[in-house]
Amino acid sequence: MSKVVASADEAVRDIAPGSTVLSSGFGLCGTPDTLIAAIARNPSITNLTCVSNNAGSGEKGLGKLLHTRQIGKMISSFIGSNKAFEAQYFAGQVALQLTPQGSIVERCRAGAFGIPAFYTPTGYGTKVQTGGLVTRYHPRSEDGTGKAELKEAEAQEGRESREFGGRGYILEEAIYGDVAIVHAWKADEMGNCIFKYGASNFGPVFAKNAKLTIIEAEEIVPTGSLDPNTIQLPSIFVNRIVKATEPKHIEVLALREEKDSESKSSAVPPEKSDARARRERICARAARELRNGDYVNLGVGMPTLVPSYLPDGVEVVLHSENGILGVGPYPSKEEVDPDLVNAGKETITLRPGGATFDSSESFGMIRGGHVDVTMLGALQVSAAGDLANYMIPGKLMKGMGGAMDLVSSPDATKVVVLTDHLDKNGRSKVVQTSSLPLTGTRCVSTIITDLCVFEVDRKREDGDGLTLVELMPGVTIEEVEKATDARFKLGPGIKK
């Protein structure tokens, strides 16, 4: 039995307009670029609803289909730095159903295995539960002036909620795909597949879900050539196989030598030098929150720098939600592998004892409370421990990515926020009540800024959950009071 098709163009030719297409990939890692290019060459395949973590970068990955205007709607968790995606969304040219990363993969896994819906803690207490996230805007020039005035045309509905064991959960319905396009490392002619490192991400789950699953494989081998113990996707889920011919792409090439050189360089403008000093102060203090043997997830940006400041004798295992446990340092030029990237899409290495797996297992580790500590950035964090870090309505839309999942089990996973105390406009990011859409409610345990450290009592209902427990060197209580919107108490040893 052979499912090998002669070309990618032949494999995709009968994809119907309006199809729901599940496309593997995290950033540009594991994206089915050969199949995407074939779809882009077929102008009859239009108005697609594409399910993927994000839409690639520029014209790479699914960004190619945004460029050709073949996508009508995205179901994604992240826009990130894809300016074309963001521009088309705000201009009303493409719809976006913003969905937490772990919920996307679990909704597809449920659909694959006959489960119509499930309850999850992810998104409880946020706009994912209550509704109101904008799915589509009216075209910006609708008023005839050409001004960039945002007008909401369609918004997401809320979710049913329920309590189990005193915790709140929301109901998520399964996603059902018409077509899955998936990149694999090796496939035999019957359709058994193996994935490489972090390129697994959404691939196995998406392939199991769709009515028509098309695999592009880097290597196609005769049936029986693969060890049955290594198969990650059994042939029963695969309909067509083609040879992957497009080159792999790297979204963020991060090299160990360049990072080391950057950290040692002193020839930087004063404003950057000041920002670096603040960042180093925050990360060095955050490293003291980690204990030897902790399993730790580090969010994009400042948290990724924390391992550089670990005290002697403290070793932790770094978890990345795209399916990696045991994240190592940045690679040398010789070590670069496009299938090994972290949550920020930067190239990485694996430490001895590392493991890779697909995104459904990764988010099972997170929601199940198996990660000891997670560190994230913030736009705002409230006195009750509410976190907002993914959007400013009408101005900034990056998407929540995996953040809502990461803060969904705060009783099992310690949530630490790393942030500048003030935003770029001089406003406090530590507030009494958040004015931005929330990533999670009552989830933050510790806030570390360039001025101080707060502990958060998430159980308090009176708005007095913040306690100042530490001042950064040279900082006074009066400075913290002036810079903080929220009320706070003084901890032991902190005196005016």
Enumerate the active-site residues. Answer: 321
CB 10 within 8 A of CB 34: no
With CA atoms as reference, report the closest residue to 250 among 330, 170, 138: 330
**Residue by residue, what is the 3-state secondary structure of the chain?**
CCCECCCHHHHHCCCCCCCEEEECCECCECCCHHHHHHHHCCCCCCCEEEECCCCCECCECCHHHHHCCCEEEEEECCCCCCHHHHHHHHCCCCEEEECCHHHHHHHHHHHHCCCCEEEECCCCCCHHHHCCCEEEECCHHHHCCCCCCCCEEEECCCCCEEEECCEEEEEEECCCCCEEEEEEEEEECCCCEECCHHHCCCHHHHHHHCCEEEEEEEEEECCCCCCHHHCCECHHHCCEEEECCCCCCCCECCCHHHHHHHHHCCCCCHHHHHHHHHHHHHHHHHHCCCCCCCEEEECCCHHHHHHHHCCCCCCCEEEECCCEEEECCCCCHHHCCCCCECCCCEECCEEEEEEECCHHHHHHHHHCCCCCEEEECCCEEECCCCEECCEECCCEECCCCCHHHHCCCCCCCEEEEECCCECCCCCECEECCCCCCCCECCCCCEEECCCEEEEECCCCCCCCCEEEEEECCCCCHHHHHHHCCCCCEECCCCCC
